[in-house]
Amino acid sequence: MLSQGVVSLSPRVPPDAFFCRAKVSIRERRMKVHRHAEKLVQYLRAHPQPTTVARIALAGVMTAGDASKAIQYGIQLGVIERIRRPGASQAERVQYRLTGQPLQPVRKAVGEPSFDALLTAWGIALVPPRLPACPPDDVTSS
């Protein structure tokens, strides 16, 4: 059964399934990267010598893609530093180690944005002030 003129690409998959992909929020992605960074920090503490993304993946800590994202996150927070070794082989040219800074916990969400908060931030009154009534104009014909 087709709904609203949408053609199904497969007889087994309903046409609405293509439009109902689960949306992953930015916060959920950030939490995932933070969890990977925590795992990476634990691994780097246990293995204090500088390491590469390939070694992290080879050790089974996480995939190379997740390790790269966690490393970038750690670098942005000052927890991990990049070490460049110009004369080394391509696989060993860039290595990473801990800086000694702790990985801070993820901040709690402040809450949903609201129009009232925006008005308050701009200094606009939420409830407009009552103005005194103006006396009626005297319209006299001369």
37-67 residue pLDDT tens: 999 999 999 999 999 999 999 999 999 999 9
132 and 114 Cβ atoms separated by less than 8 Å: no
Taking 3-state DSSP, the helix, strand and coil percentages for the chain, each rounded to the nearest 5, stand at 40, 10, 55
Residue 6 counted as domain residue:
no
CA–CA distance, 48 with 137 (Å, rounded to integer):
85
5 located within any domain: no
> Residue 14: which pLDDT band, with cuts at 50, 70 and 90?
low
The domain containing residue 80 runs over which residues?
A: 20-106
Q: Look at residue 47 and tell me if it is in a domain.
A: yes
Q: What b-and-e string marks burial along 26-51, b requiring 16 or more CB atoms within 10 Å of the CB?
A: eeeeeeebbebbbebbebbeeeeebb
Could you tell me if residue 8 is inside a domain? no
What number is the average pLDDT over the span 17-33? 71
3-state SS assignment for residue 97 = strand
Output the pLDDT for position 110.
60
**Domain for residue 1, yes or no?**
no
Query: Which of the four pLDDT bands, split at 50, 70 and 90, describes residue 33?
Result: very high
Instruction: Kindly state whether residue 13 falls inside one of the protein's structural domains.
Output: no
CATH number at residue 89: 1.10.10.10
Q: Per the domain annotation, does 32 fall within a domain?
A: yes
In a domain, 93, yes or no: yes
In total, how many domains does the chain have? 1
- Top pLDDT among 52 and 6 is at 52
